[in-house]
Structure 1
Amino acid sequence: MRKINTFLPKLKWFIIGCFAMYCLVQYAPGKQYVKESLRNERVWPLWVHRSLVKEKEDEENSALGVEFAPMGAPPFFVEEVMTSSPIKLMERLKCRARINEPPKLILSWNAGHSQANLGGCPDWNCRLTHDKTKLARADAILFAHVDTTLNRTVNQYFVHFSQESPVNSKAPVPYADFFNMSLGYRHDTTFSSPYGYTVKLARRSHRTGEIVDKKRLEGKIKGAAWFVSHCDTNSKRESYVKQLQEHFHVDVYGSCGKLKCQRGGACENMLDEQYHFYIAFENSVCKDYITEKLWNQGYRRDIVPIVMKRAIVEQLVPPKSFIAADDFNTTKELATYLHYLMRNKSAYAEFFEWRREYKVVFLDGAHHDTLERPWGFCQICRLLWEEPRPVLSISDFNKWWDSSCEKDGELTNRLLGDEMVS
């Protein structure tokens, strides 16, 4: 009797175990179903997925980062992008593209561009076309100039595109919420397409040792260089530079000066070898509007850029990597500081220390690779695959766009004060 009482509970658990195993075999999805599910939805690019797995395996290292592998350059690992937008890097890289479905269609109505502009995300299943006969089935329509004859459907996005400031690119709309979003240099919209951006490097990509050639810095003998082609601007930057020249040597290259240097030519190497500073002033003073020359000449060379207004660039560029004109009461005060840095090369060299933990990426518009993935057309593509598709609108586009700039010469007049330009 005692043996029977001991055996019955064991038999009960054996039967329960067999039943559970039967259910798992009977109702589990087949291999073909699993394969179809994986094939139908691509949630993460492979190179991002690998980084996530590694982060989970090593909780002590919270900054392993995401690998960026640009064409013709060594890969590097990124912890985060510097932006005023709340959208973080990992969210920007997460696209729920389904490759067994028709591609999402972006129609460039009058803004140019081509399929090459999606070169940063070829695996996200989007297409860019100029064929206006496909208007009805387009998911997003891109405008450089407003076409008031068009009305969007409930499932379409109207996207404003401009790399120019409102001062040089007027875009009046027929009604307040004509555009769902804007694609350009501003970071306070759904996505942006800047001339360049800054990344905070993951720890594994931090640089050690000599960060800049000290002999090169020691060999610099000239003050500042300025490459400029627009001579009469809304910002009146030319007036500020003219007054600065009363106290500090600035060589002006291009149609606004006597010196010449072809864009992209070998002569630009003199920025590395001869000049201490590069003037990176915008033609208009507007929110987030940063000249491409800051990203290109200012940060790709061994030179320290001088910007007009700290508040415009501070959130978007590496810390202690630039000098802001509006930090100084007068041009003479700025000139005194620049002369000090020229005499004290150790203090000057500190402006390159940011390279240890940050990297600046210049988007030249000619090379379309993984560096463009967190921005521009790839971000339109990512959004089009969201389900449900977000309802987006710029409630008063004219106000949002036109009120983002200072009045003509406002900053320059404030900086110059009583200084007189001779």
Structure 2
Amino acid sequence: MFYLKIIKNKNIFPDFFQLLESTFKQLFWFSNQSLLKSNETIILMWVPYTDAKITNEHLKTCKELHCKITYDRSTFEKASAVVMYDHNLLPNDLPPQRRDGQHFVFFLMESPTYVSEQAFQALRKNYYTLTMTWRKDSDIYSPFELQKYIDIDIYGYCGSKKCKKTDQAYQEYDPCEMMFRKEYKFYIAFENTVCTDWVTEKTFNRINMHSVPIVLSRKIYSKIAPNMSFIAADDFKSPADLAQYLKYLHSNADKYIQYFKWKTKFDSVPFPNGFHLAFCQLCKRIKKENEDGKFIISPKATDLKRWFIDSAECNNSMVPQMLTL
């Protein structure tokens, strides 16, 4: 064990004391970084995801990788990846310059029509190194006139019904979710636009909460959801036909219950718990790059507009057509 004798006259060994002071500052700085372990891979969330907080709970299925998610910006220099949720990113609130071997991750769970305006335009070329989106070809894949013919309750900014949003949004015990589950058999889960691979999180919320989601396109959902777990609006010739079918299911419990038989063969993962797949993928990628000694920048990330906007196959006409339901 070593002891340090205090010398009052610092002028005797000025260089020694400067070195000592600098060393202690570094030691105390590292000790205050949320008790970060030397073998941990740090993932820094620069701006939060809109609908739910992403935490270390989303890494519990890959604990052996020793990753940690933090929102503490003072860990920037130690972070192996800095994840930026584009929709909430501002050009005047960007990280410092990226260091060698550090990933800047473009993160978005919205369609191409909902990218941030200023930040996306400013950072679309040669800024990010990886992509994390709902598109299956992402570097890190994160898997997410009716009122004329049937009564519809509309909640939120566009409707007359209100349900106060809480920190438990999208969770089973959220007051709004409990009310929806108790009072509604169907839920309209229309995307703001129809793009290849793009599905709204609202669909999977409803599947997990035991009501039947009504989606726009069967072609998209048939690839990712069990048969008879949703109702596709484009299966019907008109909004009136869809409304008539919903009334039929409402009056015939044996037919309605058919939309839940898939639960005997499949399990659903509540949103946003599905993020554990994406963030464990990110951890595995970082670990492999460290082991191989290779830092790989994705060409998709270096030209975001070309990949995310120009190559997107979107149909914006379906939404207004079905909203006349």
TM-score (norm 2): 0.67
1:276 aligns to what? Answer: 185
Which of the residues 236, 240, 243 maps onto 1:335? 243
2: distance between equivalents of 1:293 and 1:301?
10
2: distance between equivalents of 1:138 and 1:148?
11
Which of the residues 311, 336, 342 maps onto 2:219? 311
Residues 15-414 of structure 1 aligned to structure 2 (within 5 Å): 102-111=39-48, 116=56, 119-120=59-60, 121-130=62-71, 135=76, 137-144=78-85, 145=89, 147=94, 150-153=97-100, 155-170=101-116, 171-172=120-121, 174=123, 176-195=125-144, 243-263=145-165, 266=175, 268-269=177-178, 271-296=180-205, 298-364=206-272, 373=276, 375-386=277-288, 387-388=291-292, 389=294, 391-395=296-300, 396-403=303-310, 404=312, 406=314, 409-413=316-320
Contact 2:98 2:104 in 1 (8 A): no
1:160 Cα deviation after fit: 0.7
| Rg larger in structure | 1
2: distance between equivalents of 1:316 and 1:398?
26
1:248 Cα deviation after fit: 1.9
1: distance between equivalents of 2:121 and 2:228?
38
- Three-state SS of the structure 2 residue aligned to 1:158 is strand
C-alpha RMSD over aligned residues = 3.4
Change (3 A) 1:402 1:269: same
- Total equivalences in the alignment: 263
Structure 2: unaligned runs, 5 residues or longer: 1-36, 166-172
- Three-state SS of the structure 2 residue aligned to 1:335 is helix
1:152 Cα deviation after fit: 4.9
Contact 1:114 1:129 in 2 (8 A): no
Contact 1:111 1:161 in 2 (8 A): no
1: distance between equivalents of 2:122 and 2:83?
14
Change (3 A) 1:344 1:132: closer
2: distance between equivalents of 1:272 and 1:194?
23
Contact 2:190 2:319 in 1 (8 A): no
Change (3 A) 1:129 1:361: closer
1:173 Cα deviation after fit: 5.1
1:333 Cα deviation after fit: 1.8
Change (3 A) 1:175 1:348: closer
1: distance between equivalents of 2:314 and 2:307?
13
- Three-state SS of the structure 2 residue aligned to 1:305 is strand
Q: Deviations over 1:110-161 (max 9, x none)?
A: 45777635542333212344565655554222223475973552x3322112
Partner amino acid for 1:116? N
2:7 aligns to what? Answer: none
2: distance between equivalents of 1:390 and 1:164?
28
Contact 2:67 2:283 in 1 (8 A): yes
2: distance between equivalents of 1:101 and 1:269?
43
1:266 Cα deviation after fit: 4.8
Q: Deviations over 1:10-60 (max 9, x none)?
A: xxxxxxxxxxxxxxxxxxxxxxxxxxxxxxxxxxxxxxxxxxxxxxxxxxx
2: distance between equivalents of 1:178 and 1:156?
12
1: distance between equivalents of 2:321 and 2:99?
44
Partner amino acid for 1:102? N
1: distance between equivalents of 2:152 and 2:164?
18
Contact 2:192 2:319 in 1 (8 A): no
Contact 1:309 1:324 in 2 (8 A): yes
- Three-state SS of the structure 2 residue aligned to 1:105 is strand
1: distance between equivalents of 2:197 and 2:124?
25
Partner amino acid for 1:150? Q
Contact 2:42 2:78 in 1 (8 A): yes
1:327 Cα deviation after fit: 1.8
1:361 Cα deviation after fit: 0.8
2: distance between equivalents of 1:268 and 1:174?
37
1:272 Cα deviation after fit: 4.2
Structure 1: unaligned runs, 5 residues or longer: 1-99, 196-242, 366-370
Contact 1:160 1:181 in 2 (8 A): yes
1:177 Cα deviation after fit: 4.7
Contact 2:41 2:67 in 1 (8 A): yes
2: distance between equivalents of 1:148 and 1:272?
41
1: distance between equivalents of 2:187 and 2:237?
20
